[in-house]
Amino acid sequence: MCGATATAVTALLAIPELVNKLGLSYRTSVELNNLIDKALPGRPSFQCENLTIGGEDLQFHYRDIVPCIRALFGNPEFAHELVFAPERHYTDAERTCRIYSEMHTGDWWWSVQTSLEARNAGATVIPLIISSDKTQLTHFRDKEAYPIYLGIGNIPKGTRRKPSRSAQMLIGYIPTTKLTSITSHAARRRALANLFHSCMAKVLEPIHAYGEIGLAMLSGDGTWRRCHPVFATFVGDYPEQVLVTCTYRGRCPKCLVPANQLGNYTHFPARNHVDAIDTYISAGEGIRQFRAACRKAGLKSIFRPFWSALPLVDIFISITPDVLHQLLQGVVKRLTAWLTTILGAAEVDARCRSLPPNHHVSLFPNGIASLSQILGKQHKDICRFLLGLVLDVALPGGQLPSRLIRAARALLDFVYLAQYPSHTSKMLQCLEDCLARFHENKDIFIDLGVREHLNLPKIHSMLHYRSSITLFGTTDNYNTEQSERLHIDFTKDAYRATNRKDEYTQMTAWLERREKIRIHTAFIEWQQQRYPTSSSTLMTSTRPPQVGMRYLKMTQHPTVKAITFDELAASYGAVDFQDALADFIALVNYPGASVATLRTRAADTLLPFRSVPVFHRIKYSSSETSEDSEIVDSAVIRPEQKDARGCTVPQRFDTVLVRGKHQDVMLGRNGNRIAQVHVVFQIPTKVVHDVFFHDAPTHLAYVEWFSPLSPTPDINHLMYKVSRLMDGGRRRAAVIPVGSIIGSVHLIPRFGPVTPDWNSFSVLEQCSIFYVNSFSDQDNYLRFG
């Protein structure tokens, strides 16, 4: 079948009378493209500059950055969201505890604003967020692209993260070449680095004059402001950071730590931007003197770094943390490999296969030891259960596992805290405490022979997270995950739209046309009032992290219309269903009655039905309305069954957290409790008023209780222990309203030697002691972490 190529579009338009019937003003794809190019407004066009390096002819496609800044700052879609001045947010009226979230809550913006205001009042800072990263265009890795992206800190981070909002722009494609004509490896590396800096300098050159004196810009709300575009942050992985700062691999791009002390918990002096510029000024004194000065300063001999002429910039401060590559694909990847070496691949995989399922936890039925080419998302998934794999590990030589568990817990705590969308001063201290706890216990990896040293740049990089958050806001302002996502829209999709010949010319033309179509679509939607036109400032949330609101969502109709009590006992494991339901009916009909009275009333309750409609899933959404809501949590409750192909689908009865006020009064305890859900059902409509004296909950759940949480978490792994709650040799069960279920909870079994018959779908029945997994999702981390 023919795809939507230019030829296909022309063939479609050639259908007799189609153009006339639809009233179109074009008859071929060429005419359509010409119409888009000439008639529709768009963002700044790309320019092309020819370069010759090492005998190779290259093309540098880029945009004028000032019109790009104007396009973002003046976009009416962002008018009600733009931020024009820095702010300080606090958790208390006494202003003793700061909150850091958006870029304008950090200290960098305050510092630049104060500097500009001292010269000329009325300045509006536009923090420029520049990112670059090479990406593959083909599966065979024979073609690469090197895009440069632009964002501004005035637009909230939530908007910048959404590709559909087009709040970040592609401003250039750096030429990709191997320069094989240069035979010297060192000279080739220098030539490639100089090419990068020359291209970046060309893109950023227009802002040199405006950083300090400013220029008039029209914001989306129609107001003219004196704006100062200032290079704020560079977003890139470690090789990009080293390239930008002209430092060497294996060294820190932000401070002067020696290579053999990268694993120490010691803060070293920051690199000095002024000293670096002075070093590069010596380039005019001769090549030998220049290279000697660079070596002495620990810098590469780049002829003219792009940041050397930028105003109000400290390039070493502008290098920001990279959660994706430093933590997820760096620290977590290393920790996983170390723990696999210690436990053994077979044991790690066996434990992975024995983890119970959960909405937030991805299972790895084949284990994780043999995984390769792991993406950031998979490392996030591994983080959710990694600590649980080593809770009761036996170390060689009879060593106690406490140091290993503490080190792993500290690293995972740091990874989780570093990703919070807002931080308080106290939480930043907790972040620092996690790092200190890791360094107190890290030598266990050396003692066990896993590592000879821990002098790794990614381990060292954690020392700089706290300072970067206080300067530029939380890490989701500058995470490379955003640029990885932009590669799809601005690079990979653009390349697929070409004929693979002179691709960059076609890619830039395709991007310009797509932007014009999007702007025209937004204009039509504005005319039809499909999005807000208010120019009032949108206040973004800068509260400390807290458990999010969840809204119960049940399907309108049950999964199974009628299941008998006997089948509930046989297939769903609800062996005490009738007794538990009788207890609940008595509790609802006789509120405030004593325990003895409730027992009597329950014993006298007769159920005028023998089957109930059953639901196999409880869902929780982020919003009460169906619009803009997403499923943020769920619990699955289903017996063993066959799928459409006749294959067996194992049973699954998830564990949940239940509000204390709806507990079985027989338990005699308050507080939230953990339970395993076996049945979600309704009382048949025809008899509901015969059963209850008053209104009763619509959806009910038959659950089996676990013991209350241990009074304190374990001293090493900091997880709470629970066990099956038994009553006369039977599991304690109850019927509760589904509305009393807060959400799902993931339990990690106490492994010991893993028995061969344990698996993800049977372990909850076969194991009796568990630990509450605080890493399953952010809400449970806040509850149990």
Could you tell me where the DSSP H helices lie in 214-355? Answer: 238-245, 273-281, 287-297, 315-318, 333-343, 345-352
Count Cβ neighbours within 10 Å for each residue of 136-166 and write b for 16 or more, e otherwise: ebeeeeeeebbbbbbbbbbbbbbbbbeeeeb
Q: CA angle, 370 as apex, 410 and 368 as ends, to 5°?
A: 40
Question: Across the strands, what pairs with 722?
Answer: 770
Q: What is the pLDDT of residue 665?
A: 38
pLDDT digits (tens, 9 = 90+) for 504-519: 999 999 999 999 999 9
CA distance 488 to 511: 12
pLDDT digits (tens, 9 = 90+) for 696-712: 889 999 999 999 998 89
* Res 381 pLDDT > 80: yes
What letter represents residue 506's amino acid?
Q
pLDDT digits (tens, 9 = 90+) for 634-690: 999 999 998 888 899 999 999 999 998 644 433 433 479 999 999 999 999 999 989
Q: What is the pLDDT of residue 288?
A: 85
Q: In what order do the strands lie in the sheet with 169-173?
A: 47-53, 56-62, 169-173, 147-152, 123-132, 224-235, 215-218
Ranking 121-130, 311-320, 666-675 by mean pLDDT, the lowest is: 666-675
pLDDT digits (tens, 9 = 90+) for 148-203: 999 999 999 999 999 999 999 999 999 999 998 999 999 999 999 999 999 999 99
The more confidently predicted of residues 107 and 395 is 107
DSSP 636: E
**Proportion of the chain above pLDDT 70, given as a percent:** 95
First to last CA, the chain: 54
Mean pLDDT of the chain: 92
Q: Are 641 and 345 in contact (CB under 8 A)?
A: no
pLDDT digits (tens, 9 = 90+) for 601-646: 989 888 999 999 999 999 999 888 766 678 999 999 999 998 888 8
Residue 284: Cβ-neighbour burial (10 angstroms; 0-12, 13-18, 19+): exposed
All structural domains of the chain with their residue ranges:
1-39, 44-89+99-246+313-320+486-527, 323-472, 551-745
Question: Which tokens go with 106?
Answer: 């950090």
pLDDT digits (tens, 9 = 90+) for 729-747: 899 999 999 999 999 999 9
Q: CA angle, 72 as apex, 312 and 154 as ends, to 5°?
A: 55
> Which residues have CB under 8 Å from 593's CB, separation 6+?
586, 601
* Res 754 pLDDT > 80: no
Q: Are 152 and 232 in contact (CB under 8 A)?
A: no
Question: Other C-beta atoms within 10 Å of 189: how many?
Answer: 14
